[in-house]
Structure 1
Amino acid sequence: MTAISLHGLLIAWIFVGILETSAGTYAWIRFFMELAPLAVLLLGGLWADRADARNLILLLSLLAIVLPLLLIPFAGSITLQVAFLFGLGMALLQALSDPARQSIINRVTRFDIQRTVTVTTVITTLAGLVGVWIGGKLETIGIRQILVIQAAVIAASAFALGRLPALPPTIRAEESAALDHGLMSRLSQSFSLFWGFPLIRNVIGLNFLSSLFNAGAYTIGVPYIVTRVYEGNADFFADTMIWFMAGSIGSTAFLLLVMPLLHPGRTFICLQLTRVVILAALWLQPPVWFFFVIISLWGVNMGITTTLVRTVVQELAPEAHRAKILSIFLLSFMASAPLSSLMLGTLVEYTNPLAALLPGIPISIAIFFLGLYGTDLWAFRSPSSDTPDA
């Protein structure tokens, strides 16, 4: 997670801070950079269910070590094209490995899935804070050094992963043979499995709406709010991300103390209304100190809602097909990214960066009412609440 967060800050700052790309151009760059991984994400889910998960992630991690090192010769004069290829390459590798990473959580944990997902979120977010802090020193230590650090961190994570035992596929041989009918047939089966679980379908659908305009506002709007509204540099951008992630860590740590939750869906639904207040407060362009406070509250909100969505999906997905369903869950995040990039980026281009926050307000209200009256999420009772240690 350190490397992922470092990469996220680095690629955003290259486009917005160094190349000073317009919001409209940046929107199209993000659109194409995030569109290609959608296809390989589903392939990653199929691959993860039929291969040793540890070996798969190790292979993709080794490839990810190479990419930052390849960028080093171009660091002194990075072009739009080179930055795009770098961002695209890392996004493709992450999309291929994410389903396997998510699915092994259930296989190596000794606790209920709610606590496991929450602990995992806290640890990875803490690691992400380190990556963002390092990225904030970009203008001090230089891009070449940042790229070397990124490669070294990925190598360290691969070494740690290699210490895990083998994680062979859980799907039975006869099921594997039955599934071996070509790519389109297997993709179709993944969606059929997903559609056969109404609550998973509804949760992922609501999460897609949230990602489209709420997470999208953070991804697209915040870099331009930092540079144009507050006239900040890379350090200011890093501080913004750190405050957001600190709020996320605090909220997930609190969740760990009160879990397992009997009705996690109710918390998810109610938090949609608090997000309305947060987005409206940011739109009012508060002073810097209060801007950071609100950003941290946004992190609290997003940390809790994202963790709860993940736990519901993890709890309900059957083990033999968990990676496939989780790949569709991840797809809901990634499919929203190119769409929100175009819509919110265009909005920023023709208005101002703060306008990217406004669509999330009615969308959050809509998610509240859809979750309350259009799904069974309010009545959902978590299986983790019935475990002996709950």
Structure 2
Amino acid sequence: MSPSNQPSGLSGGPSQLPLYLMGSAAWFGAFGIQTVVFTYISAQVLALSGVYFALAQASFMLPALFLLLLGGAVAEHSDTRRLMVMAHLGAVVPPLFVAWLVASGTLTFVPLILAGLFMGTVSAFMLPAREAMLARVLGTNEGAAIQRAVRFSLLAQFLAQVAGMAFARLADKTGLEVMLLIQAGLQLAGAAAAFMLLPAPSLLTNSAAGLRGQWVRIREGLEQVRNSPSLLPITVLTFAIGVFFVGSFMVVLPIILRDDPNLGATVERVSSLQVSFWSGTILSTLAVGAFGEIARKGRLIVCAVGVGCVVLLGLSVPGPLWLFYALSFVWGLGAGVTLTMTRTIVQLDAPPTSRARVLSVYQMGFSGGLPLGSLLAGPIVEAVGGRGATVTAALGMAFVVAVLVLRTKLWNLSHAPSLAASKP
């Protein structure tokens, strides 16, 4: 391994990546259960209207708007292994709290929002720490190795998430409180896996300490993204995906499922909606891996996002339940390509000493755009209905992609030197 490819600080070992993947799987398995159970509680148990349903969904992501960049700066200034352990332990609290409220029959809208805000706060510190840790446990910055590790990480994430969502179908039989206790147990397992990783101390040697130093590092991370011809369009695109795509998936689709008399939002159908989408994501992630290192990543990303726009337009037309699931599956196919390619680009282009900061800006695209999209989706659903809201989201996303293709280098993003040097 050449010195240029060996990151400073911790080198990965043969046992480090499996432990990392185990912790990631535990986190996202718990997240899969949370997605189904909390959506079902909001839509059916509390029977929230469109606006209040959107607020409940947004509560899990809203802290990212304010804390994700700080989380990236903290991750670079701290031992990321210790930060991951603390985040897993913090994520035990919300499901235990909600399980207690469900068991006592006292669950209402406000406590659900508080649980969501707490979980969102924990996630804002976990996401950049976990992303920054990937290259540390891998022990290399070489392009093909990074893309391969990103694919393994995403597969562990998606498989665990789908397993959690599928398992949550049993909530009607086990009871919601038991399912929430299982979610908490998965987070404890994730904390154990993270604890077994080697320490990952900060790579910064002369950074300013304290709150002022944190904000200085945040500003530097934002400037690195703004000045990068690859990171800037990717970040803008992921923010738009958070607003138009993820907001629609989290808010609009469950409301369509609930309000359409031919569909119905039972816990099994909410679970099947999630599983169909993420199964498509897993399949496309595997397909991307079969092609090896992909050179023209930008063009593939644009085409994948275009698939999502077409699916949203298709969802605007009433149809049978199987078609609803099929369109969700196709949308997941595009999402898997987009997530793999964008995350690989950011991992490759982010400097090792500021990787957590840059990755936190990238993560803010999904996690920060999502609450905004959820909050916008609620009033739009109230105004034009769930199916009309899918058309609005498709047109908004198509406009952003068109601007990025025409005004940035998104279409020509490539990590093959020969191709990058000879753009058509």
- Please give the range of the TM-score, normalised by the shorter of the 2 chains: over 0.9
* Root-mean-square deviation over aligned CA pairs: 2.1
Amino acid at match of 1:318: P
The 3-state SS of whatever aligns with 1:259 is: coil
Deviation, 1:304, is 0.9
Deviation, 1:158, is 1.3
Cα distance change of structure 1 residues 179 and 264 upon mapping to structure 2, 3 Å threshold: farther
State which of 320, 328, 332 in structure 1 corresponds to 2:353.
320
Residues 101-142 of structure 1 show CA distances to partners (whole Å, capped at 9, x for unaligned) of: 011111222662112111211111000011101222222211
Tell me what 1:237 maps to.
270
Aligned equivalents of 1:368, 1:196: Cα separation in 2: 20
Aligned equivalents of 1:178, 1:227: Cα separation in 2: 50
Normalised to the residue count of structure 1, the TM-score between the two structures is 0.93
Contact persistence 1:260–1:385 (CA under 8 A) = no
State which of 232, 235, 259 in structure 2 corresponds to 1:201.
232
Deviation, 1:274, is 2.4
Confirm whether residue 215 of structure 1 aligns to residue 246 of structure 2.
Answer: yes
* Most deviating of 349-358 and 24-33: 24-33
* Most deviating of 355-364 and 226-235: 355-364
Aligned equivalents of 2:217, 2:132: Cα separation in 1: 18
Tell me what 2:75 maps to.
48
Contact persistence 2:60–2:119 (CA under 8 A) = no
Aligned equivalents of 2:397, 2:376: Cα separation in 1: 17
Contact persistence 1:199–1:377 (CA under 8 A) = yes
Amino acid at match of 1:61: H
Once the two structures are superposed, the pairs formed by residues 220-369 of structure 1 within 5 Å of their partners are 220-229=251-260, 230-369=263-402
Aligned equivalents of 1:335, 1:50: Cα separation in 2: 22
State which of 129, 137, 144 in structure 2 corresponds to 1:108.
137
Residues 322-344 of structure 1 show CA distances to partners (whole Å, capped at 9, x for unaligned) of: 00011111112222122212221
State which of 65, 72, 90 in structure 2 corresponds to 1:38.
65
Tell me what 1:26 maps to.
53
State which of 112, 117, 127 in structure 1 corresponds to 2:160.
127
Tell me what 2:19 maps to.
none
Structure 2 residue ranges without an equivalent (≥5): 1-27, 420-424
Residues 298-323 of structure 1 show CA distances to partners (whole Å, capped at 9, x for unaligned) of: 11011111221111111100010000
The 3-state SS of whatever aligns with 2:61 is: helix
Aligned length: 384
Cα distance change of structure 1 residues 52 and 184 upon mapping to structure 2, 3 Å threshold: closer
Normalised to the residue count of structure 2, the TM-score between the two structures is 0.85
Residues 168-205 of structure 1 show CA distances to partners (whole Å, capped at 9, x for unaligned) of: 1122x22x248984443333223222222232011111
Deviation, 1:32, is 5.0
Contact persistence 1:119–1:253 (CA under 8 A) = no
Tell me what 2:201 maps to.
168
Tell me what 1:98 maps to.
127
The 3-state SS of whatever aligns with 1:358 is: helix
Aligned equivalents of 1:373, 1:86: Cα separation in 2: 42
Deviation, 1:49, is 0.4
